[in-house]
Structure 1
Amino acid sequence: MCGFVCLWNVGDEALAAAMIEKIAHRGPDAVAVTRAPHAPVVMAHCRLSIIGPQDGAQPIHQGDDILVVNGEIYNHVDLRAVLGESVFETQSDSETILHLSRTASRRWVSRLDGMFAFVLATRGRILAGRDPLGIKPLYVARLGGGLAFASELKAFDGLAVSDIEAIPPGSLFDSNGDMRRWFRMPQGAAEAETGLDEQATWRELRLVLEDAVKKWMVADVEVGAFLSGGLDSSIIAALAARAAPARLKTFSVGLEGSPDLVAARRVAAHIGSAHFEHAFTPDDVARVLPHVIYHLESADVDLVRSAVPTHFAAALARRHVKAVLTGEGADELFAGYTYHHAYVDRPRALADELTRSLATMHNINLQRVDRITMAESLEARTPFLDRDLITFAQSIPASLKMRRTDPSAAESTGPTTEKWILRKACQDLLPHDLVWRKKAQFDEGSGTVDALREALMIMEGAKEPLDRAAEGAVYERLLRARYRDPERVLANAGKWESDRVALAV
């Protein structure tokens, strides 16, 4: 896991060094700036060593090609076997990108399985690619007569750049052509076909989940797990505890006595993890809020609320491990948000909404997870967003995800259960009441909403809690105070509630 900068047709090593310094928190283990001798490119890289820690330094420079990568390629062992071990000079998973690009296949990037962003200068052109969901960030901007690439927007702050935009998820930028979309989100299924074997479906889902967790635990360092006590993180932690080579470390945060802390202790005891927790206070929230918003690169109210507990969890985990598993993606795959209940009698609309939200995670929840964990030099991994798991989950009818659970009740009034198929698939992993516990948002279960309310009153000297609009105004003010060019950051920020699939009246 890392951060990088690439300047194309901008021969300024000092500028690259200054840009990488702004995102050096992403990789404290090593920083390097390299000018390619046979191409108009300067690359800078800051490294957090996870796979191949002894010989995985970047930029990777072989022949006329030079490469920087952020992320993990989980099928690198298989790719090495296909490409031939003799062509490799290191044990780094990132090197597979270089050798794949040299094959005759035009769709070579689609063979990469993992979370990644990269820039490759080769044969007089530059290529920049991003993983299917956009788990790892990548931005491009125009700088003079050339291009500048960076892992975070703050690398561009104060520079005379223009047209900053994110490389879209699942896309490959080619300076000899244009942007090519190499991955498209599979459309979600709606109604169950007649005769569908529900038990066989959830049993297969369980197997796919187990494979995803094992794959996303591959590392040369210890991998822990965030554990909020909610369903998603508890499932990941329970499966990871079974697959871990040593006792799994789990991490939980919240206000003292909050539901998340209580539930997480129960889950940790049940799965036998070495559990660590931190209880924060409203004063703690007020202290870290400017730091969180600066690194988040967004002032969206919903993102800030969930970024605060993520910060405390990341700071706690980094004292013990370099990488953690998280439960992000389960709500988008299996209909876990409160607003999804309104779609219970509209499975086609629900399937479309889940598909839409998966495709837009990159600058919402995935941005939060990436920025806030990397601010603490911690790698976050999201097994629910494994490509094979996404493909299988999207084939499961939406009617099995959000489901009425009382067959005797009238169709329009019966209780509904979110993530029904996921709960069935994992019901043996956890205590029954935790498996069927109603979802609480991370910011709610951890007590962050209450802590933020009090923290904002402290910061603003207010006698009454701020309403949502006033809360958002504070966040925007804090963001503007930290950036020379805040409009660029705000222009690239996503909104959690934007463009939802409308329900027919």
Structure 2
Amino acid sequence: MCGIAGICQTDASPLPPQCMHWVRAMTARMAHRGPDGEGFWDGARACFGHRRLSIIDLSGGAQPMSSADGDLTITFNGEIYNFARLKEQLAAQGARFATDSDTEVILEAYRLWGVDCLARFDGMFAFALWDQARQRLFCARDRFGKKPFFYTLWGGRLFFASELSALEQIRELPLTPDPQAIVRYLAYEYVPTPATLYAEARSLEPAHMLLLEDGRLRIRRYWDLPCPDEDDRRDPDSLCEELRFLLTRAVRRRMVSDVPLGVFLSGGIDSSIVAGLMAHQSPTPVRTFSIGFREASYDESRYARIVARAFGTEHHERVLDADECADSLPGIISSMDVPMADASVAPTWLLSGVTRQKVTVALGGDGADELWAGYEHYIGFLLAQWYNRLPGPLRRGIIEPLCRLLPSGAGYINPRLAVSTFLRAAHAPAWQRVQTMLTALAPDVQHAILDSAFPGKNTALLAPENLFAPTREHYEHWQPPQAATPLARAFHVYARQFLLDDILVKVDRCSMLHSLEVRAPFLDRDAAEFAARLPLKHKLRGFRRKWLLKRAFADLLPPEILHRNKRGFQIPVAQWLRGRLRPLMEDLLSPAALKAQGIFQPQAVRALMDRHFSGKEDLRKPLWTLLVFQLWWRARRA
């Protein structure tokens, strides 16, 4: 895993010397992504920088790397898991290799197959490749967006980097906050790709390539997630056998490393499967790592210990409390290059730190919830369809008033909050329903708290069709059109939006801040396509989630793990905002701070805080989202 940066002239003129100074500044900002070395390449029209975290071919894989004839040069972040097989195919076609690295395989694959080489790669990657003969810049990002790639055009040049904060190092670049991106962050808890918080900067979408050639910038999709084949009549036993083969192979491929490996182990289904498959293929005890909480309703460490004992792992555990998390929070958020209000950022960052003390690479269960129906929201989506078939007077006159009488709470499960979120989603159009279940600050709340002088106060920006346009794009424009069932489209939204901009961003940034590489076997190309093509009944059967996944690994997992309810990797936000984190929130959301900033209306924000502090309402999501934004904003202004 690494950090990449570079600049390319859009026309035929050479780059000025200043550009290499800028590339060095961008590369230096990402030292945490590659502490094992740095490298630079200076061509006439392009220059690259690279920070290296050595994983494979520790001595021979330095970058940027050029081909033997000097025609091709690449700066690459990631891993190509099937590089050994590709290397054999390329060698059979006459390619010669000077290293054992996957980087050189990309160069030779491009030489032989051109941009179509992307279809052959199974891995996580973002790279930029300069083709001297064609005078072409070829950039690409992996199928799910596990590795980041940001870019901007300015002054007749394209600037790119692995992190947005690297682009911030070039003071001359115009990077202005985008009001539309800010209001979307407040709703989503992140800024949906391809936008960033800056109007001038973009994020290359996953499964897309960027080509800069003949003065033209072209962006093209090279892959999409397959749609479910509801006509698949294969029996569950044969499907289970194929799934076990695919995931076993995916884990084995991700165990290839010249440095120590481990597993993020939560005690849930997904990470337990990864730990079990890894243990069965490792000649030595696997190292597992988990985080626990002192608050019982959030703690899963007991389950992680059960799995560790079952597979004989060398288990490492750390228990967190409010003080430790609160003390770490400002530094964690400030070091993130993008605002990210997923409350599990803090424990993920701390878990990465614990893991990095022992290993350089960790495997995790990311992607399984999105591909195998792990979230309760999938059931909520179905229930909303059924609920709307009930007579209106029954819904509005009896059920909904009774729901308002449910008790509130600050634990992991808050009945009133869960039901009110469900009802809000049930009332929304089908395309909007998925995001409504996840929304932090709804349009009406944003309208109340945004300062009248802030451009985002504009009613048009907060209209659902604009605010949630990224979700609608994924939901309505997924091809092919026959995959039109609402539930299939909900799956697609989770896999192409929430997984991308929340889960994978969180894991990449938190792990790389500790120079740790994290690999996701469930996002293996073949395993993911297998899951995506399955009829939905094999994932969600009644109220049973991950039905086929659990069936396939029933003999591998301890019974306590197989039959337990899912818990998210969260922190006790509601309690901590009323307790240990309250002074921090009072400071960052004080009238003086908000007035000086000019985005939020102080009295309206204060009202939200008071309603939460009273215990009468659970406003953890909007307040946490605001708190994270303020921490991130303060760091950027500094």
Which TM-score tier does this pair reach, normalised by the shorter chain? 0.7 to 0.9
**3-state SS, counterpart of residue 428 of structure 1:** coil
Work out the CA distance in 2 between the residues paired with 1:370 and 1:351.
27
Secondary structure in 2 aligned to 1:134?
coil
- Please name the residue that 1:478 is paired with: 631
1:83 and 2:90 correspond: yes
* Structure 1 match to 2:473: none
Displacement after TM superposition at 1:458 (Å): 4.1
Where in structure 2 are the equivalents of 1:273-288 lying within 5 Å?
Answer: 273-288=313-328
Worse-matched range after superposition: 422-431 or 335-344: 335-344
Deviations 1:272-307 (A, max 9, x none): 110001111111111211222234444443x2x111
Structure-2 change in CA distance of 1:420 and 1:291 (3 Å): same
Matches of 1:350 and 1:325, distance apart in 2: 29
Question: Helix, strand or coil for the counterpart of 2:146?
Answer: coil
TM-score, structure 2 as length reference:
0.70
TM-score (norm: length of structure 1) = 0.87
Output the CA distance in 1 between the equivalents of 2:121 and 2:316.
34
Identify the residue that residue 121 of structure 2 maps to in structure 1.
112
The yes-or-no answer on 1:349 pairing with 2:476 is no
Checking the alignment, whether the CA contact within 8 Å between 2:573 and 2:624 is kept in structure 1 is no
Q: Distance in 1 between matches of 2:231 and 2:270?
A: 24
SS in 2 for 1:217: coil
Structure 1 residue 311 corresponds to structure 2 residue 311: no
- Report how far residue 259 of structure 1 moved: 3.2
State the alpha-carbon separation in 1 of the partners of residues 365 and 113 from structure 2: 37
Q: Which has the higher helix share?
A: 2
- Map of 1:55-454 to 2, 5 A cutoff? 55-62=60-67, 63-84=70-91, 87-123=96-132, 124-159=135-170, 160-161=172-173, 163-176=200-213, 177=216, 178-189=218-229, 191=230, 196-256=234-294, 259-301=299-341, 303=342, 305-344=343-382, 348-360=485-497, 361-404=499-542, 416-443=543-570, 450-451=575-576, 454=579
In the TM superposition, residue 210 of structure 1 has moved relative to its aligned partner by 0.9
> Could you say if the C-alpha distance between residues 133 and 318 of structure 1 is closer, same or farther in structure 2, counting changes exceeding 3 Å?
same
User: Would the alpha carbon gap of residues 453 and 126 (structure 1) be closer, same or farther in structure 2, given more than 3 Å must change?
Assistant: farther
Write the distance in 1 (CA, Å) between the matches of 2:537 and 2:517: 34
Q: Partner of 1:496 in structure 2?
A: none
Match of 2:283, SS state, is coil
Secondary structure at the aligned position of 1:228 is classed as: coil
Q: Structure 2 vs 1, CA of residues 136 and 422 (structure 1 numbering), >3 Å: closer, same or farther?
A: same
> What is the Cα deviation at residue 196 of structure 1?
4.0
The Cα RMSD (Å) is: 2.1
Q: Which residue of 1 aligns with 2:393?
A: none
Instruction: Give the distance between the partners of 1:316 and 1:200, measured in 2 at CA.
Output: 40
Measured after TM superposition, the shift of residue 29 of structure 1 is 0.5
Letter in 2 for 1:135: K
Deviation digits for residues 436-489 of structure 1 (CA, Å, limit 9, x no counterpart) = 211111116xx566556644224235893764322221111100011149xxxx
- Contact in 2 for aligned 1:229/1:267 (Cα 8 Å): yes
- Equivalent position SS for 1:67: strand
| Matches of 2:486 and 2:552, distance apart in 1 | 24
Cα distance in 1 for partners of 2:285, 2:527 equals 25
Match of 1:23 in 2: 30
Are 1:459 and 2:584 an aligned pair? Answer: yes
Q: Distance in 1 between matches of 2:353 and 2:235?
A: 44
Q: What is the rounded CA distance, in whole Å, between the counterparts of 1:339 and 1:106 in structure 2?
A: 38
* Gap change, CA 1:50 and 1:449, over 3 Å in 2: farther
Counterpart for residue 4 of structure 2: 4
Q: Distance in 1 between matches of 2:620 and 2:527?
A: 39
Q: Who is 2:457 aligned against? A: none
The match for 2:418 is none
Q: CA deviation at 1:367?
A: 0.7
1:4 to partner: Cα distance: 1.0
Q: Give distance in 1, aligned partners of 2:256 and 2:301.
A: 28
**Amino acid across the alignment from 1:7:** I
Quick one: distance in 2 between partners of 1:451 and 1:376? 25
Q: Which has the larger radius of gyration?
A: 2
Contact in 2 for aligned 1:6/1:44 (Cα 8 Å)? yes
CA drift of 1:86 comes to: 5.6
> Which blocks of at least 5 consecutive residues in structure 1 are unaligned?
405-415, 486-505
**Distance verdict in 2 for CA 1:141–1:484, change over 3 Å:** farther
Change in 2 beyond 3 A, CA 1:196/1:449? farther
Corresponding residue SS for 1:71: strand
Count how many residue pairs are aligned between Structure 1 and Structure 2: 466
C-alpha distance in 1 between matches for 2:114 and 2:7: 27
- Asked if the contact 2:336–2:632 (Cα under 8 Å) also holds between the matched residues in 1, the reply is no
The Cα shift of 1:135 comes to: 0.6
Aligned 8 A contact 1:228 1:252 in 2 = yes
Counterparts of 1:344 and 1:233, CA distance in 2: 27
Provide Cα deviations, 1:211-238, integer angstroms capped at 9, x if missing partner.
1111122111121100011111111111
- Over 3 Å counting, the alpha-carbon distance change for 1:93 and 1:354 in structure 2 is same
Change (3 A) 1:453 1:21: farther
Does the CA contact (< 8 Å) of 1:60 and 1:68 recur in 2?
yes
